[in-house]
Chains A and B, each alone.
Chain A
């Protein structure tokens, strides 16, 4: 187990961040190249991990484990925190997605001119924490990275954002922090209830652990502990485990975001600069979904089973509610933000179904939505960069002035509305199929979700119609500014388009990876 590839993924961006800080500000142009080079190396590293990933086992692979903190708690035993990294079929696709989207984000950051040094330093810090969050297998480490993402994000929105950036940044920070606190409570409860089976025997004392592998195993729960699965411990008159699960779904529901905890997202998206919107929609939302799968569902399968209706209901409501809101938006970026909420609802639906189709579909949907939403926000960025305006009604007939752009927009829009051969379709198809296959969920729940598919077609086509068809016109005489894509934008949008098509036609690229792990995951239910 002496590999260090996962650590390299985390520490390379962190080292890059420090390097950017150390370089003098006069080396302006070098900063963006550092973040691109770091992102490229990380992506190559992730691709090599992806290639070496053993698809036939459900275990964690490339595991790195180092003892980090050992603290005696007196009578309570010993608190053990490890530096523990590893990937399985559930976080490998997320890692791949992070690699791709972070690279795109760093290319997109070329347009940032204001205080580049600080920007790129924060961006690399963000990259490192996102990847750290995905590969951590120790709850403490996970939480550390989970929290640490907020810091650079706060400054990136608050300094480089739009007009209402302070409001959006504060709202984002505090809202997500509230969620984190709920998760923190559960984390402490879990670690107090679980002992490390191996070390406890060896040392003769109770060793409290944060190891994901130990937390997921009911055998490791300490008798009479607060979260013991079979002894009904009560808090405020309800089962402690139920209480903990509710805290987790609210905590991760905020991050996902699920209706009704979603309102930070439109504000944060609209105010964030384009590359940060891309990272936010492309990866950060998936951290919430990943937490749902790995922690809420992984550690509380008994409760999750009872919560099927609520989680599926939240998913369906997010789908429909997000779609209706998207239909009403006049701001392109806000429309895309609400469509993100709608599409993340499918993840919840698929997960709640607890079928192989549904959960695999949810993972695919996370990946596919990551690619597509990154494209969508780049598209909004292209228009904003040229005109500093994002209102849909201010543009008409862009397709005659910007044909290359329109092609990319078409791929992004049709990808989002679920056209087959693009990634949106497979995700929606299999999450809804999961809903139908599920023994618990009635069919009508999934049928309501289908309404979201019609609505998403409606708002995307309507936007396409309003902005791209008709005779060319842009408000405030901005016509001459509407130049077609430059080289950098073509690289970003077309490589994402190509990836969308590849992953849309060959869904096995994701399903092969996730299949075994999901099967093992579902055995717990």
Chain B
């Protein structure tokens, strides 16, 4: 069986999963929905591994899609190492997210809808990955955006959720417009949309023509798509809001896969990008990384912190592509996908445990209550922080080394700012991850629960909350017992007894350990990833050691500062103290700025335009109508009073004349004689005068 056929069948499976689950979402039980969806996903993974063995060509497979007059548009399936990697990665993470969701989404009335959307998402994501031309990529790109919309707004009765969904879709649309224009310009100047053909043409270009303004324009426009989807500055505003979606969705879509699609796209078309585009990407990536990390420092919401750290890490990947080290960026994409999914899933487990409390100030001491989650979270956090022996260290290091290498080849020293900032920010990420682990899991002197009960102001409220919690716990216990009773009956129940949530977290944590990727956990070069994907970096290896120091320093500082941090627990507002901290916390008020600069004027002007339409344009039409009627009535008046009265006048005059002349012929002999006499006299006078 050829590889493209396998992919095609695989996509059909997901399509079936989506439509069947959507159709039967209310009839099927949760168990059968979950089981069906997971089986489909599992088959997909087997397929993805099967392709790797059966197909080694790495070619584009094209099918005719449609002709526009003589121009052919094809369905291209591009199967190279990058495709295989992403194909496996997406499905692997999706599988564990689905397993996790079995428990997490349990009892949700829309359980089936959730799994249906997940199937659609995986389908669209696979579509992006296998597409070999920009039109197809764009189509699936938008479909992925649709899935994000549907899943962020999954609890559509919550206004904040649907607002966030709409915001995500619209912000992405803005970026996509740039992407769209970029595609059209590519078509105009390359005459094709086929990615491999474009790359081939770009590679034979001279350095000058590659760096021409038009190539830079194309590159930057294509990058617009990545800016929106991968949440780069200044369009990153949608990602923190997108945390309104269910946590497994945040793990799968807004951390591991969809947001990485922008990076994947840039990696696919990297040879087309001009040096100027590269530079812009490096700078923008750096800024995103810095500002994202700063925002993460001050968050109290367990998911929002992770969202900002995702933004920051995506910024690092963009830097990786910007400095031309595509494969290091991809490596980080892979490791990040695992550890960030692990972090989100663990966070989901924490949120579940805390009865949907997301404020980290109200957590603490969870290490004893949910030890498994504590370990998985810490392992993934360590990977994110860049601690040696964990996967994040390898990939982050590779990017840092490559960026220093790149800066050294640049004409001016000032280019070293980019790698230096990245290095510093990686210390910040160590700091905020430590802070998070500390706040959520470790014992604190100011035990928040005690503080809550002793706090006089919010005593009543919090007690009420606690009682509610206790009641919930009792209910949970009852439910668990019921589950245990139930679980003896079938396989599915057995799975949930083991703890599908914990199991998924464990898998992700294992995948975040450095040994999974490289035998020597200090050398990215030894990883299997760079065995497959070439990486040229040779010098600047000493950066690794500095990076380790920076990371450990970050952890240490994080521990020290968080320990001293005191929280006003009775203050329900999420805002931190201090103005700068507040600005950072609010994500630099970007959303608010957009609201005032774009949205409000738009909503202000559109009724005005509508009024213009009603009053002026339609007014002209109506007044033409009214004028015609007025003209007609004027005509009518004119007709009645002037023309008709003239006619009447003629008639009346002749009538009058008639009535006068009639009197002449009155038949009386005397009158006639007088008339004759007068006439004779007149004639005589006339003759005499003559």
Give chain A nearest CB distance to B215 CB in angstroms: 15
Across-interface contacts of B372 in A (CB, < 8 A): none
Say yes or no: A399 contacts B156, CB within 8 Å: yes
A233 interface residue per 8 A CB criterion: no
Is B542 positioned at the interface, with any CB of A under 8 Å from its CB?
no
Question: Is B609 touching A324 in the complex (CB atoms < 8 A)?
Answer: yes
What 1/0 mask marks residues of chain A from 498 to 514 whose CB sits below 8 Å from any chain B CB? 00000000111001100
Binds A, one of B174-182, B292-300, B311-319, B662-670: B174-182
* B67 interfacial contact with A, CB 8 Å: yes
User: Cβ of B538 < 8 Å from any Cβ of A?
Assistant: no
| Cβ-defined partner of B166 (8 Å) among A263, A414, A421, A465 | A465
B68 proximity list for chain A (CB < 8 A): 356-357, 360-361, 430, 511, 515
Does B16 sit at the interface, judged by CB under 8 A? no
Q: Say whether A171 contacts B159, CB under 8 Å.
A: no
Question: What does the 1/0 interface line of B134-159 toward A look like (CB < 8 Å)?
Answer: 01001110110010010001001101
Instruction: Tell me the bound Cα distance from A457 to B170 in angstroms.
Output: 7
Q: Is B621 an interface residue when CB atoms closer than 8 A count as contact?
A: yes
Assess the B170–A515 pair: CB atoms within 8 A: no
Q: Taking CB as reference atom, which chain B residue is nearest A55?
A: B67
* B185 at the binding interface (Cβ < 8 Å): yes
Q: Answer whether residue B603 sits at the interface, using C-beta atoms and an 8 A cutoff.
A: yes
Is B577 an interface position by the 8 A CB rule?
no
User: Given the interface contacts A399-B156, A419-B146, A511-B68, does A324 sit within 8 Å of B139 by beta carbon?
Assistant: no
> Mask for A429-447, Cβ within 8 A of B = 1, else 0?
1101100110000010011
Q: How far is the CA of A136 from the CA of B133 in the complex (A)?
A: 41
A143 part of interface (Cβ distance < 8 Å): no
A437 x B181 contact (CB < 8 A): no
**Please, how many angstroms separate the alpha-carbon atoms of A276 and B166 in the complex?**
32
Question: Is B177 touching A453 in the complex (CB atoms < 8 A)?
Answer: yes
| B261: min CB distance to chain A, Å | 15
Q: Which of A213-221, A301-309, A325-333 is the interface stretch?
A: A325-333
Chain A positions 107-141 with a Cβ under 8 Å from a chain B Cβ: none
Cβ of A225 within 8 Å of any chain B Cβ, yes or no, is no
Q: A263-B613, A263-B621, A420-B139 known; A511 and B185 CB under 8 Å?
A: no
- Residue in B70, B157, B609 whose CB lies within 8 Å of A325: B609
In the complex, which of the residues B170, B607, B609 contacts A454, with contact meaning CB atoms closer than 8 Å?
Answer: B170
Cross-chain contact B173 with A465 (CB below 8 angstroms): no
Residue from the list B163, B174, B187 in contact with A436, Cβ < 8 A = B187
Q: Are the CB atoms of B602 and A327 closer together than 8 Å?
A: yes
Chain A 357-393 near chain B by CB (<8 Å), digits 1 or 0: 1001100000000000000000000000000000000
Q: Which residues of chain A have C-beta atoms less than 8 A from B660's C-beta?
A: none
A519 contacts partner chain B, Cβ-Cβ < 8 Å: yes
Q: Does B606 touch A at the CB level, under 8 Å?
A: yes
A321 at the binding interface (Cβ < 8 Å): yes
Interface: A47 (CB within 8 A): no
Are B163 and A465 within 8 A (Cβ)? yes
Does B468 sit at the interface, judged by CB under 8 A?
Answer: no
Which of A171, A329, A433, A507 has the most chain B CB within a 10 Å cutoff? A433
Find chain B residues with CB under 8 A from A361 CB. Answer: 68
Which of B140, B188, B606 has a CB less than 8 Å from the CB of A328?
B606
Q: Is B635 an interface residue (CB 8 A)?
A: no
With a CB–CB cut-off of 8 A, which chain A residues contact B617?
Answer: 259-260, 262-263
Which of B140, B166, B613: most chain A Cβ within 10 A?
B613
Known: A327-B602, A397-B157. Is A450-B180 also a contact (CB below 8 A)?
yes
CB of A33 within 8 Å of the partner chain: no
Residue from B159, B185, B605, B621 whose CB has the most chain A CB atoms within 10 Å = B621
Is there contact, CB below 8 Å, between B162 and A433?
no
Contact residues, A438-479 vs B (CB, 8 A)? 443, 446-447, 450-451, 453-454, 457-458, 461-462, 465, 468-471
Is B174 within 8 A of A454, CB to CB? yes
The interface residues of chain A lying within 8 Å CB-to-CB of B603 are: 327
Q: Which of B66, B163, B625 contacts A506 (CB 8 A)?
A: B66
| B611: nearest chain-A partner, CB-CB | A328
Cα distance, A263 to B614, chains bound together (Å): 8
Shortest C-beta distance, A416 to chain B (Å), equals 14
User: Which residues does chain B contribute within 8 Å of A469, judged by CB atoms?
Assistant: 153, 156-157, 159, 162
Residues of A within 8 A of B609 (CB): 321, 324-325, 328
On whether A171 and B607 interact (CB within 8 A), knowing A421-B143, A433-B184, A457-B169, the answer reads: no
B618 / chain A contacts, CB cutoff of 8 Å = 263
**Distance to closest chain A CB from B407 (angstroms):** 35
Question: How far is it, in angstroms, between the C-alpha of A81 and the C-alpha of B67 when the chains are bound?
Answer: 37
In the complex formed, the residue of A with least CB distance to B185 is A436
A171 proximity list for chain B (CB < 8 A): 621, 625
- Chain B residues, CB < 8 A from A181: none
In the complex, the chain A residue whose C-beta lies closest to that of B153 is A469
Closest to B71 in A: A356
Instruction: List chain B residues, Cβ under 8 A from A397.
Output: 156-157
Pick from A329, A356, A425, A433: contact of B69, CB under 8 Å:
A356
Is A196 part of the contact surface with B, judged by Cβ < 8 Å? no
Chain A residue at minimum C-beta to C-beta distance from B138: A420
- In the complex, A443 Cα to B189 Cα: how many Å? 13
| B595 at the A interface (CB under 8 A) | no
Q: Is B652 an interface residue (CB 8 A)?
A: no
**B613 to chain A: which residues have CB within 8 Å?**
263, 321, 325
- Judged by a CB distance under 8 angstroms, whether A239 is at the interface is no
* Chain A residues whose C-beta falls within 8 Å of the C-beta of B149 in the assembled complex: 461
A174 at the binding interface (Cβ < 8 Å): yes
Please tell me if A7 contacts chain B, counting CB pairs below 8 Å: no
Asked if residues B185 and A328 are in contact (CB atoms below 8 Å), the reply is no
CA distance A262 to B489 in the complex (A): 67
Contact of A471 with B66 at beta-carbon distance under 8 Å, contacts A175-B621, A447-B181 already known: no
Q: Which of B582-610 contact A (CB under 8 A)?
A: 602-603, 605-607, 609-610
Closest A residue to B157 using CB positions: A471
A429: chain B residues within 8 A (beta carbon): 135, 180
Name the distance in Å between A397's Cβ and chain B's nearest Cβ: 6
A421 to chain B minimum Cβ distance, whole angstroms, is: 7
What's the minimum C-beta distance from B613 to chain A, rounded to whole angstroms?
A: 5
A518 within 8 A of B: yes
A450 contact set on B, CB distance < 8 A? 177, 180-181
Question: Which residues of chain B from 61 to 77 have any CB-CB distance to chain A below 8 Å in the complex?
Answer: 65-71
By a CB distance below 8 angstroms, the chain A residues around B602 are: 327, 458
Nearest B residue to A437 by beta-carbon distance?
A: B188
Q: How far is the CA of A87 from the CA of B69 in the complex (A)?
A: 17
A454 to B, closest residue via Cβ: B173
Closest to B599 in A: A458
Within 8 A of A (CB), among B617-645: 617-618, 621, 625
Distance of A327 Cα from B610 Cα, bound (Å): 9
Within 8 Å of chain B (Cβ to Cβ): is A45? no
**B157 A419 Cβ-Cβ under 8 A:** no
A171–B619 CA distance with the chains assembled, in angstroms: 12
Residues of B within 8 A of A446 (CB): 184
CB of A200 closer than 8 Å to a CB of B: no
CA distance A420 to B128 in the complex (A): 13
Do B69 and A360 touch (CB < 8 A)? yes
Given A263-B618, A469-B157, A470-B156, A508 and B173 touching (CB < 8 A)? no
Q: Could you list 22 A-B pairs, sorted by A, with CB under 8 Å? A: A264-B621, A321-B613, A325-B613, A327-B602, A328-B606, A357-B71, A360-B69, A414-B146, A421-B143, A432-B184, A451-B177, A454-B173, A465-B166, A469-B153, A469-B162, A470-B156, A470-B159, A506-B66, A511-B68, A512-B67, A518-B69, A519-B70
When A and B form their complex, which 7 residue pairs have the shortest distance between CB atoms, in order from nearest? A508-B66, A420-B139, A328-B610, A328-B606, A356-B69, A263-B618, A327-B606
Given contacts A436-B181, A469-B162, 13 further A-B contacts (CB under 8 A): A175-B621, A263-B618, A327-B602, A399-B156, A400-B156, A420-B142, A421-B143, A443-B185, A457-B169, A508-B65, A508-B66, A512-B66, A515-B67
Give me the interface of B with A, judged by CB distance under 8 Å: 65-71, 135, 138-140, 142-143, 146, 149, 153, 156-157, 159, 162-163, 166, 169-170, 173-174, 177, 180-181, 184-185, 187-188, 602-603, 605-607, 609-610, 613, 617-618, 621, 625
